[in-house]
Amino acid sequence: NKDNDNSYMPKQWVGCDVEAEYMGEERKQSKEDRKRLSKRDRSKYKKTDQKMLKKAEDSSDDSLPTGRVLSIKSQEIIVEYEGKIYRCMLRGILKKERNNMKNLVTVGDMVRFEPLNENEGAITFVNPRKSVLSRADNLSRRKEHLIAANIDQVLITASVVNPPLKPFLIDRYIIATQKGNMNPVLIVNKVDLLENNEDPFVLEEKELYEEFLKAYAKSGFPIISISAETGEGLEALRDIMKDKSSVFSGQSGVGKSSLINKITGIDLTVGETVSHTKKGAHTTTSAQLIPLSFGGWCIDTPGIKSFGLWNLTPEEVEPYFDEIIEAGHHCKFPDCSHRHEKECAVIAAVEEGTISIIRYASYIALLDTLAEEHKRR
């Protein structure tokens, strides 16, 4: 059933010529014509993906520089190219189309632009996107409510205590990250709180933390133990963020803002969620990419939890727990829930230690959470 569930497939994004998208083949017309055109109904210029794809191939204007959109400020698109900042407009009639523009180009987009002078330019083409963060439930609609594009990796942040480690939540972030075509990196913060602490509660959390490291080392995802407080692990975090565009994600209170402060030197208020979302019909959500002094970019949004990626189905969750699904083929009952049934091969494997108790507990907790959310919907 995974095969016929389109939402599971990473979306294929196509290149988009910003003029052709709105003006069809008439883009060579004079400025006067453009003005006249802009008054007409633009819907007839809407292109199919097929045509756009062709357009993308045709667009041989690759003599133009390709820059990265850092932020969008009302009608100005801030593009970085070779360390320099260009304030850009979309070429042509799009100048006044604020709403459409927002959807057409988003933070993180790679755009071809024509430099007009030292610090201004005109965007002519938006490169195909590798990944996209879009407003919840809008993933299937290509142009709408894009928040960021081309994020390489999600820094899935957790803390060892206060709040304690929750493997099932981390797994949920991992699955959502992969669904969004991005790479997961696990960041475990506040390790300073485990040191020289004999509090029985803390000792228990320390044990969970050590089990967690063992179990997740097998996953192959990078894991960084860190402390925003003492600076331990920050070097490793910088290494992994270098030359990539990253977004921090994770439960509130785990220290995302503190880590962003340390990494960027920019003071995002600690203890508050960073969000510029305004409610209402004309929702304006603007994120920005912060260039990192050592190379790379970091986006200042609360991460994937606000976006459509967070809504998972059991079908999307199960492939991630392949060893559990595999063992489940040997259960006595074909519809075994692996919770209480007799002769459950999964429970037997957990007891034998061939399936990690952390993985099993996460599997059950994650499915319970989804079922609970589904009921509330």
In angstroms, give the least distance from the CB of 216 to Zn ion.
Answer: 24
CB of 261 to ligand GDP, least distance (A): 8
Given Zn ion, ligand GDP, none, residue 324, with its beta carbon under 5 to 8 Å by kind, binds none
Q: By rule CB under 6 A, what string of x and - marks binding of each residue 184-213 to ligand GDP?
A: -----xx-xx--------------------
Residue 72 and residue 302: Cα distance in Å, rounded? 18
Number of residues that bind Zn ion (CB under 5 A): 5
For the bound state, the minimum distance from the C-beta of residue 315 to Zn ion, rounded and expressed in Å, comes to 18
Q: Is 338 in the site for Zn ion (CB under 5 A)?
A: yes
Identity of the residue, 255 or 308, whose beta carbon is nearer to ligand GDP in the bound complex = 255
CB of 147 to ligand GDP, least distance (A): 18
Strand pairing of 120-126 and 84-90? Answer: parallel
> How near is the Cβ of 361 to Zn ion at its closest, in Å?
15
Contacting residues for 331 by C-beta, under 8 A, at least 6 apart: 338, 341, 343, 344, 345, 346
- CA 244, CA 255: separation in Å to the nearest integer? 21
256 binds, among ligand GDP, Zn ion, none (CB under 5 to 8 A by kind): ligand GDP
- 346 near Zn ion (CB under 5 A): yes
133: left (phi over 0), alpha (psi -120 to 50) or beta: beta
CB of 328 to ligand GDP, least distance (A): 36
331 lines the binding site for Zn ion (CB under 5 A): yes
Kindly determine how many residues on this chain lie close enough to bind ligand GDP according to the rule CB under 6 A: 16
Q: Is 336 an interacting residue with respect to Zn ion (CB under 5 A)?
A: yes
Choice between 67 and 255, CB closer to ligand GDP: 255
Subset of residues 213 to 272 that bind ligand GDP, contact rule: CB under 6 A:
227-229, 252-258, 270-271
Closest to 177 measured CA to CA, from 296, 304, 359, 2 = 304
* Four-point Cα dihedral 248, 298, 189, 302, nearest 10: -30
Provide the token pair at 107. Answer: 């933070």
Q: Which candidate, 265, 283, 170, places its Cα nearest to that of 216?
A: 170
Report d(CA 317, CA 168) in Å as an integer. Answer: 11
CA distance 10 to 240: 24
Of all helices (H) and strands (E), which one includes residue 208?
A: helix 200-217
User: Of ligand GDP, Zn ion, none, which one sits near residue 265, judging by CB under 5 to 8 A according to partner kind?
Assistant: none
Q: Which does 270 bind (CB under 5 to 8 A by kind): ligand GDP, Zn ion, none?
A: ligand GDP
Q: Give me the least distance between CB of 229 and ligand GDP, in Å please.
A: 3
Nearer to ligand GDP, 192 or 323 (CB): 192
Give the number of other Cβ atoms within 10 Å of residue 97's Cβ: 17
Long-range contacts of 41-50 (CB under 8 A, 24+ apart): 45/21, 47/20, 47/21, 49/14, 49/142
The residues that touch ligand GDP, with contacts defined as CB under 6 A, are 189-190, 192-193, 227-229, 252-258, 270-271
The residues that touch Zn ion, with contacts defined as CB under 5 A, are 331, 336, 338, 344, 346
